[in-house]
């Protein structure tokens, strides 16, 4: 990846800042460690001081106790009272200072009962001196109970002091290490950073100078080439101007031809649109005719079904008439038999004979009516057969008409699609012609712009020649500023 000059200078500054940040962080870290180690040393000295304070306070209390036992005056108890208060305060301080050290806390747990026992022994002898005199107190002192407790106290405090001294030695080492590290980072880090930054600055300056020199040489050679090229461009610009004039005239002729073609294409498109509309109307009419023929076919089928049902009903009526005729024959026979029986009965059968005569008369009438109905039904059946035949023929004719109309509609549909495609093609041709006209207008405008640009190029080449000369002089000045070529 190639870096520009600004990036290289920025990288140098970034490296310098990075080294300063690193030195600062190292120094801060070492200084922080030094401060922490120093604080731990102070903490250790405070523990040792309070341990010494415990022993000193106990000694003061023991001194006050002995003085009071010997002399018996209250003023000798002041060291005892002061020592007792100092012991309690020192124990509280030790408990607080060693709360992060479980071992020392355990030793304090051992030390506190011993100190309490010692203070109790001192108080006991003082009370005996007050109440029973010197001999009673002296006997308690001679038991050496107080000395033994004091020895235990010294032993525990000595163990605590030894551990704190060990910690003090360790913390002294940490302080020395931190201070040495801080000094080393400053003494060696600063010169190292200075040397690295000086080397990097020298390298960046050398690289930038070499790049500038190469750029200046390239600028000088480019200026010479520009001077040679501008003369060629000037002669080419004159030839281009004449060629552009001829091309402009040709483009104007092509523009007029395109205008005529566009008008004709627009006319063809309009006619194609009208034809497509007419074909769409014919197609709709054919579709309506097909729908009407289909409805007629459905009606013919319905009529045929009705006639068939009528024929079936006529046959049923014929059967009923035959049954009625049979009943009439049987009624006539029964009437004759009834008349004979009535004649046999004499006077008693006259009424029944009249009824039989009426039944016979009705039977004759029913027979005559049945004959008439049968004749009429025969005519109806003949007409129904003729109607069924005619309906079948009409249905066949309708089917043929539907088929022919469907074929005609399909032909018209195909024709309409062809006309529609032709209309779309004509519309596209018209649109293309219009676009060609717009394009020709743009070409004509572009040619006019090219003509003007050619004129401007001629003037520009003169200015480029002057600029190239200025670039050459600028390259010479930069070369003089940089000085001799870097080794």
- pLDDT at position 226 over 60: no
- pLDDT at position 352 over 50: yes
CATH 1.20.120.1730 is held by the domain 5-205: yes
Q: Which of 106-115, 191-200, 354-363, 441-450 has the highest mean pLDDT?
A: 106-115
pLDDT tens digits for range 11-36: 877 887 887 788 788 777 877 776 77
pLDDT value, residue 197:
74
pLDDT tens digits for range 89-142: 999 999 999 888 899 899 999 999 999 999 998 898 898 888 888 888 888 888
pLDDT tens digits for range 450-473: 678 766 765 776 776 677 677 777
Using DSSP, state whether 484 is helix, strand or coil: coil
- pLDDT tier for residue 486 given thresholds of 50, 70 and 90: very low
- pLDDT at position 86 over 90: yes
- pLDDT tier for residue 84 given thresholds of 50, 70 and 90: very high
- pLDDT tier for residue 324 given thresholds of 50, 70 and 90: confident
- pLDDT tier for residue 325 given thresholds of 50, 70 and 90: confident
**What values do phi and psi take at 144, rounded to 5?**
60, 15
**Domain-wise residue ranges, the chain:** 5-205, 230-482
Give mean pLDDT, residues 379-385.
79
> How would you class 358 by CB atoms within 10 Å of its CB: exposed for 0-12, middle for 13-18, buried for 19 or more?
exposed
Class of domain 230-482: mainly alpha
Question: What is the per-residue DSSP string for 75-86?
Answer: GGGHHHHHHHHH
Residue 42 CA: distances (Å) to CA of 46, 47, 48, 180, 306:
6, 9, 10, 20, 128
**Number of Cβ atoms within 10 Å of the Cβ of 432:** 14
pLDDT value, residue 332:
80
Q: Virtual CA dihedral for 120, 122, 127, 132, nearest 10 degrees?
A: 120
Q: What is the spatial distance between Cα 310 and Cα 315, in angstroms, rounded to a whole number?
A: 9
Give mean pLDDT, residues 369-397.
80
pLDDT tens digits for range 158-197: 998 999 999 888 888 887 887 788 787 777 777 887 787 7
pLDDT value, residue 487:
44
- Fold: same for 5-205 and 230-482: no
Q: How far apart are the first and last CA of the chain?
A: 24
The 3-class SS string of the chain reads CCCCHHHHHHHHHHHHHHHHHHHHHHHHHHHHHHHHHHHHHHHHHHHHHHHHHHHHHHHHHHHHHHHHHHHCCHHHHHHHHHHHHHHHHHHHHHHHHCCCCHHHHHHHHHHHHHHHHHHHHHHHHHHHHHHCCHHHHHHHHHCCHHHHHHHHHHHHHHHHHHHHHHHHHHHHHHHHHHHHHHHHHHHHHHHHHHHHHHHHHHHHHHHHHHHHHHHHHHHHHHHHHHHHHHHHHHHHHHHHHHHHHHHHHHHHHHHHHHHHHHHHHHHHHHHHHHHHHHHHHHHHHHHHHHHHHHHHHHHHHHHHHHHHHHHHHHHHHHHHHHHHHHHHHHHHHHHHHHHHHHHHHHHHHHHHHHHHHHHHHHHHHHHHHHHHHHHHHHHHHHHHHHHHHHHHHHHHHHHHHHHHHHHHHHHHHHHHHHHHHHHHHHHHHHHHHHHHHHHHHHHHHHHHHHHHHHHHHHHHHHHHHHHHHHHHHHHHHHHHHHCCCCC
Residue among 85, 8, 7, 76 nearest 53 (CA):
85
Q: What pTM was estimated for this model as a whole?
A: 0.36
pLDDT value, residue 278:
66
pLDDT value, residue 102:
92
Q: What is the mean pLDDT of the chain?
A: 79
pLDDT tens digits for range 243-284: 657 766 766 775 786 677 677 767 757 876 786 776 677 678
Describe the crossing of helices 102-131 and 78-97 by its angle, rounded to 10 degrees.
170
Q: Which of 68-77, 173-182, 404-413 has the highest mean pLDDT?
A: 68-77
């Amino acid at each position: 990846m190639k870096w520009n000059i600004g990036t290289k200078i920025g990288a140098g500054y970034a490296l310098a800042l990075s080294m300063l940040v690193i030195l600062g962080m190292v120094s801060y870290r070492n200084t922080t460690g030094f401060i922490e180690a120093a604080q731990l040393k102070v903490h250790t000295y405070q523990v040792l001081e309070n341990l010494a304070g415990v022993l000193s306070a106990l000694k003061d209390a023991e001194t006050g106790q002995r003085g009071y036992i010997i002399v018996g005056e209250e003023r000798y108890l002041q060291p005892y009272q002061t020592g007792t208060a100092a012991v309690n305060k020192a124990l509280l301080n030790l408990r607080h200072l060693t709360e992060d050290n479980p071992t020392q806390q355990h030793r304090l747990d051992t030390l506190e009962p011993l100190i309490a026992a010692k203070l109790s022994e001192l108080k006991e002898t003082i009370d005996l001196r007050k109440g029973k005199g010197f001999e009673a107190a002296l006997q308690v002192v001679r038991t050496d109970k107080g000395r033994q407790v004091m020895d235990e106290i010294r032993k525990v405090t000595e163990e605590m002091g030894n551990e704190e001294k060990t910690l003090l030695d360790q913390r002294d080492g940490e302080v020395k290490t931190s201070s040495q590290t801080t000094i080393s980072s400053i003494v060696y880090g600063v010169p190292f950073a200075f040397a690295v930054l000086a080397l990097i600055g020298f390298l960046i300056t050398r690289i930038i100078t070499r790049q500038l020199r190469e750029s200046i040489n390239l600028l000088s050679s480019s200026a010479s080439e520009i001077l040679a090229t501008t003369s060629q461009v000037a002669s080419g610009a004159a030839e281009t101007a004449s060629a552009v004039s001829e091309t402009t005239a040709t483009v104007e002729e092509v523009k007029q031809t395109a205008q005529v073609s566009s008008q004709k294409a627009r006319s063809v498109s309009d006619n194609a649109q009208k034809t497509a509309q007419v074909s769409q109307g014919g197609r709709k009419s054919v579709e309506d005719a097909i729908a009407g023929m289909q409805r007629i076919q459905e009606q013919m089928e319905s009529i045929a079904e009705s006639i068939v049902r009528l024929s079936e009903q006529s046959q049923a009526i014929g059967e009923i008439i035959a049954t009625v005729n049979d009943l009439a024959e049987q009624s006539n026979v029964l009437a004759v038999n009834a008349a004979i029986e009535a004649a046999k009965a004499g006077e008693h059968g006259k009424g029944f004979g009249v009824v039989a005569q009426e039944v016979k008369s009705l039977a004759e009438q029913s027979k005559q009516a049945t004959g008439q109905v049968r004749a009429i039904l025969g005519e109806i059946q003949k007409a129904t057969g003729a109607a069924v035949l005619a309906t079948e023929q009409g249905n066949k004719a309708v089917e043929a008409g539907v088929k022919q109309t469907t074929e005609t509609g399909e032909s018209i549909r195909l024709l309409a699609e062809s006309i529609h495609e032709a209309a779309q093609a004509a519309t596209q041709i018209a649109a293309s012609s219009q676009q060609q006209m717009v394009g020709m207008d743009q070409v004509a405008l572009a040619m006019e712009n090219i003509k003007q640009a050619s004129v401007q190029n001629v003037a520009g080449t003169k200015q480029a020649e002057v600029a190239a000369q200025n670039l050459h002089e600028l390259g010479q000045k930069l070369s003089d500023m940089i000085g001799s070529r870097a080794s």
